[in-house]
Amino acid sequence: MTASRAAAFAPINIALVKYWGKRDAALNLPVAPSLSVALQELGSLTIVQPDAQLDRDIVVVDDRPLDPAGLVRAERVLAAVRRRAGATGHAGVRSVNTVPMARGLASSASGMAALAVAAARAYGLDLSPAELSALARLGSGSAARSVPGGFALWHAGSAPDGSDSVAECLHPAEHWPLRVLVAHVGGRKAVSSTAGMASTAASAPMFEAWTATCRADVATARNAIAARDFGALADVVECNALRMHATMLWGRPPLLYWQPATVAVIHAVRQLRHEGTECCFTIDAGASVVILATAQDVRAVAEVLGEIAGIDEVIETRVGPGARVVESGA
Ligand code: DP6
């Protein structure tokens, strides 16, 4: 089959049980499993156009050439697709994020997942969701979770080649239509996840305890999601995020991603839950906070967030579907 243009959309995903530590940096293989939700409509739309005239891959994201580190990641995905398809040559890639970059949501996961899905189609590969997840993982670990929709589990796996370190959909979004609020908190440029997790793993005395926590937390969160038990989910989601940040703080250099508004949101969400509102928070490698809430309680939470100083913007969405091809064969 000849290569032809294809486009794919992939959602941003938010980890409820976090990925923070690799057993293989080249293949982005994690030391522990993680669990996430896909966000509806927030993500990356990526077009891959194989082009025999090009002498290298050209990748443009939001109208700007991808930075060199990002390009290395994208090329890992493209090279793996071409190797598998027995194809040579290069491609022009254009990607647009539906949330502006630096809005408190990392777009590399959705971008790499959309790239994997679009490139596989462009080069004529017919891959399973698990195979697409493994391809996306080569670009960024958490991208493995942006392939399945709804509630996704990324298995740590044990195969040295990473073939079993893939994410699967545990439940589609309809299983539990939770709402998601992203409270964007600006601040200093954070240490990247890639660099941060390497230094934490190498230096934090509690790193082993952290990975054991993740294994246990995935099991607890799975049960809470299956039973739609918000209280149980809130408990494990917040504990897991706080333990990740505690582990980061114990590394050298200590990683402190929070700003005052981050802490204000933590307190506000805990207070709301104490009063009976179904909401909980999680925080990635940055100052922004993501809040899960039930459909019934989301308005009350958004109102409280609107009053907290230091939040630039609150984006409201819900759990949504996974990556999909949106155009092919042009
Ligand atoms: C804190 O997937 O961005 O968001 O594999 O090095 O590309 P690389 O890291 P990345 O790390 C995400 C870290 C996190 C937690 C999570 O999403 O699970």
Which atom belonging to ligand 1 lies closest to the Cα atom of 28?
Answer: 5
Do 187 and 245 lie in one domain? The reply is yes
Nearest CA to ligand 1 atom 5: 141
User: Among the three residues 126, 145, 175, which one is the final residue of a domain in this structure?
Assistant: 175
The pLDDT value recorded for residue 109 is 95
Do 272 and 296 lie in one domain? The reply is yes
Do 221 and 311 lie in one domain? The reply is yes
The pLDDT value recorded for residue 103 is 57
Ligand 1 centre to CA of 296 (Å) is 30
Do 143 and 236 lie in one domain? The reply is no
Do 65 and 213 lie in one domain? The reply is no
Do 14 and 138 lie in one domain? The reply is yes
**Residue 324 belongs to some domain of the structure:** no
Structure confidence by residue, pLDDT tens digits, 182-218: 999 987 778 999 999 999 999 989 999 999 999 999 9
Do 203 and 132 lie in one domain? The reply is no
Distance CA 210, CA 244 (A): 7
Ligand 1 centre to CA of 30 (Å) is 10
**Residue 135 belongs to some domain of the structure:** yes
Domain containing residue 282: CATH number: 3.30.70.890
Do 119 and 12 lie in one domain? The reply is yes
What's the whole-model pTM score? 0.96
> If you count them, how many residues does the chain have?
330
Do 100 and 236 lie in one domain? The reply is no
Which atom belonging to ligand 1 lies closest to the Cα atom of 22?
Answer: 5
Domain containing residue 12: CATH number: 3.30.230.10
Ligand 1 centre to CA of 54 (Å) is 31
* Positions in the chain short of pLDDT 50: none
Structure confidence by residue, pLDDT tens digits, 264-304: 999 999 999 999 999 999 999 999 999 999 999 999 999 99
The pLDDT value recorded for residue 99 is 82
**Residue 328 belongs to some domain of the structure:** no
Nearest CA to ligand 1 atom 7: 140
**Residue 210 belongs to some domain of the structure:** yes
Domain count, the chain: 2
Which atom belonging to ligand 1 lies closest to the Cα atom of 140?
Answer: 7
**Residue 327 belongs to some domain of the structure:** no
Ligand 1 centre to CA of 109 (Å) is 8
User: Among the three residues 136, 154, 175, which one is the final residue of a domain in this structure?
Assistant: 175
Do 101 and 151 lie in one domain? The reply is yes
For ligand 1, pick from 28, 193, 248 the residue to mutate: most ligand atoms within 8 Å of CB: 193
**Residue 117 belongs to some domain of the structure:** yes
Q: Which domain holds residue 193?
A: 179-318
| Pocket lined around ligand 1, Cβ cut-off 6 Å | 15, 18-20, 28, 34, 106, 108-109, 140-142, 193-194, 284-285
For ligand 1, pick from 14, 16, 17, 19 the residue to mutate: most ligand atoms within 8 Å of CB: 19
Distances in whole angstroms, Cα of residue 62 to Cα of each of 38, 59, 100, 182: 21, 10, 8, 21
Ligand 1 centre to CA of 141 (Å) is 6
Ligand 1 centre to CA of 285 (Å) is 8
The pLDDT value recorded for residue 206 is 94
Distance CA 151, CA 162 (A): 21
Nearest CA to ligand 1 atom 1: 284
Torsion of CA 286, 287, 292, 295, to 10 degrees: -130
Which atom belonging to ligand 1 lies closest to the Cα atom of 108?
Answer: 3
Ligand 1 centre to CA of 16 (Å) is 12
User: Among the three residues 159, 175, 191, which one is the final residue of a domain in this structure?
Assistant: 175
Nearest CA to ligand 1 atom 3: 193
Ligand 1 centre to CA of 108 (Å) is 9
Ligand 1 centre to CA of 274 (Å) is 30
The pLDDT value recorded for residue 107 is 74
User: Strand 179-185 and strand 167-171: pairing?
Assistant: unpaired
Do 191 and 310 lie in one domain? The reply is yes
Distance CA 153, CA 16 (A): 10
Distance CA 228, CA 216 (A): 18
Do 119 and 183 lie in one domain? The reply is no
